[in-house]
Amino acid sequence: MDVPPWELRRSMLVKLDEETNPKFGCAPENRPIRDYLNYGIINLDKPGGPSSHEVAAWVKRILDVKHAGHGGTLDPKVTGILPVALEKAPKVIEALLVSGKEYVCAMRLHGDVDEQKVRDVLEEFVGDILQRPPLRSSVRRVVRTRRIYYLTDLEFRDRWVLFRVGCQAGTYIRKLVYDVGEVLGPGAHMDELRRVRSGPFTEDESLVTLYSLKAGYDLWKETGDESTLRRVVLPMERALGLVPKIYVRDSAVSSICHGAKLATPGIARLETDIKSRDLVGFFSLKGELIALGKAIITSEEMVSRDHGLAADTIRVIMDLDTYPRMWQSRKTEEKP
């Protein structure tokens, strides 16, 4: 992929002009408040100091929930966007792994370097690079390829360099800065870092602090007013803003919830540019996330074929009884 995921533009393909039964399920933003929290995600502005694990633990205490998982670990000193998924929503964190990240970094050079040389060297790091995770990382320390989409907005002052970097998830910016310093000669280190994008989540929309989260929850508990809480907590479906979507007929929802693969007759509409083995989201016609899947064929083939499999189901999100069962098991079909 030569451009960051947030710059891709997809259109909608209609396979069937299908309507949804209002008796079952509901639009994500209209879920009852308890269900809303159970399937909620927070675009949290992590402060400097605590670890990502500590911040997720604070969110659990503030909202009185049992489970909270964060999307993409930030070092304690690093600030910025830390998506935190609640209760049943941590299953969607996987979608953020294919959605890319953006950071603003302050790099400190260890010696005097010509500004043009710094620009030229940074440009060399755009594209695929090799990285070995640092010693304190949570993943295996094996060399792996990561993509840098851009290094822009460079500002210089003495030995300070400020820049913006768009990159594939799993890129270590501290290691990137170290490698840049090695190529420049005198060395460099990362002094400050802020994450300004995690997949579809940005600073421009719905970014909340722990304080505003606490205020929204207290207002709801004390007065019953849900409005602020619904503003600071988002439906989990927002995490799939950059993942290609397949909208499923009501009659196929239950079978997917029971682990069945998605067949082409179950598709009502879908987004363009889906390729084989792409991570995809299965959605109801009301916009509810049913499951995460992996495409078997392209979006064009899904539209043109009247039978056969379209995608594997890899992680079910929706509760089993949300939509009625409209399929028979093989054992039932074989009964005389």
Q: What's the sign of the alpha-carbon dihedral 245, 246, 247, 253?
A: negative
Mean pLDDT for 107-128 is: 97
Report how far residue 27's alpha carbon sits from residue 285's, in angstroms, rounded to the nearest whole number.
9
Q: Where in the chain is the domain with CATH 3.30.2350.10?
A: 39-97+201-236
Q: Where in the chain is the domain with CATH 2.30.130.10?
A: 7-26+244-334
Q: Where in the chain is the domain with CATH 3.30.70.3190?
A: 100-198
Residue 336 has pLDDT above 50, yes or no: no
Q: Which CATH number fits domain 100-198: 3.40.640.10, 3.20.20.80, 3.30.70.3190, 3.30.465.10?
A: 3.30.70.3190
The pLDDT tens digits of the residues spanning 136-176 come to 666 677 899 999 999 999 999 999 999 999 999 999 999 99
What CATH class does 39-97+201-236 carry? alpha beta
The pLDDT tens digits of the residues spanning 252-300 come to 999 999 999 999 999 999 999 999 999 999 999 999 999 999 999 999 9
Architecture of domain 7-26+244-334: Roll (2.30)
Q: Which residue has the higher pLDDT, 318 or 140?
A: 318
HSE-CB for 174 with a 13 A CA cutoff: 12
Report how far residue 77's alpha carbon sits from residue 194's, in angstroms, rounded to the nearest whole number.
9
The pLDDT tens digits of the residues spanning 195-218 come to 999 999 999 878 999 999 999 999
Report how far residue 273's alpha carbon sits from residue 18's, in angstroms, rounded to the nearest whole number.
22
Beta strands in the chain (DSSP E): 12-14, 40-46, 68-70, 79-86, 101-109, 127-131, 144-157, 160-167, 188-198, 201-202, 234-235, 245-248, 262-263, 267-271, 279-284, 289-295, 309-316
What local confidence, expressed as pLDDT, does residue 239 receive? 96
Provide the annotated active-site residues. 75
The pLDDT tens digits of the residues spanning 46-57 come to 999 999 999 999
**pTM over cut 0.75:** yes
DSSP 90: G
